[in-house]
Amino acid sequence: MNDYKMQAAKASLKFIKTGQTIGLGAGTTIFHLVDLISQDELLAVSLTIVSSSFKTRTYLSEKGLNVGFSDLIANLDSYFDGCDQFDRELNALKSGGGIHTNEKILASMATEFILIGDEGKMVSALDHRHPLVIEILPEALSVVLRKIKLTYPGAEVTLRMSNQKDGAVISDNGNLLADIHFSELPELKELNIFIKMIPGIVEHSLFYRLATRAVIAGENGIRVIIPEYQ
């Protein structure tokens, strides 16, 4: 069976040069990329790598790679990450890990933000199969939920609860996380702006026109995709 995630990781290596400072997200494809970097002696000793993910940072350390801190770095040459789904404009939903705020910070610091993964993640248009995740200041929870329900009455908003302890899931930044399930995804530009403007919302998991390219692998090989803006 073909490992398309590994193939995509291998194809992404050509966008990494010795001496660069890069960012990495989370997930299986990113772990493949870490393995490949660690096997290249020149890259392994010369790169500075920051990550939005605790698991990825731990794995980077285990591999002996140079882990940097984003608060001490002004910009990144490139940032690599996977997603749940992306469209032809490379708008992406990153709803799984709940670390989208930190991921967006790194994406905004990068000259190139490159999505990597298997071709099954690409769709003609984003849809409602994955929720929009929002990070919320705890004291703003009730007002945020009320505002969303008033604007999107058909949407279902669910606070993420922990299955490991009693209580809500807490983000890396000490905030709450909630999933917005739409019956039909609103127009992306409007959604991106409206959700950001609700006081108390730190960030959401729609990455609107942030990615500069995508590297995906599938039955027909490797594809490098540039955004097609309408």
- Active-site residues, by number, are 103
> What per-residue string of b and e applies to 90-112 under the rule 16 or more CB within 10 Å gives b?
bbbbbbbbbbbbbbbbbbebbee
Q: Which residue, among 3, 6, 8, has the nearest Cα to 114 in the 3D structure? A: 8
Tokens of 102: 């930190």
| 188 vs 67: CA distance, rounded Å | 34
Residue 52: how many CA atoms within 13 Å on its side-chain side? 28
Q: Judging by DSSP bridges, how do beta strands 76-81 and 110-118 pair with one another?
A: parallel
| 22 vs 139: CA distance, rounded Å | 35
Yes or no: say if 186 and 206 are a contact pair by the CB < 8 Å rule. no
Q: Is 90 left (phi over 0), alpha (psi -120 to 50) or beta?
A: left
Beta strands in 91-219 (DSSP E): 92-93, 110-118, 132-136, 156-159, 176-181, 201-204, 206-207, 213-218
Q: Which residue, among 105, 46, 100, 95, has the nearest Cα to 74 in the 3D structure? A: 105
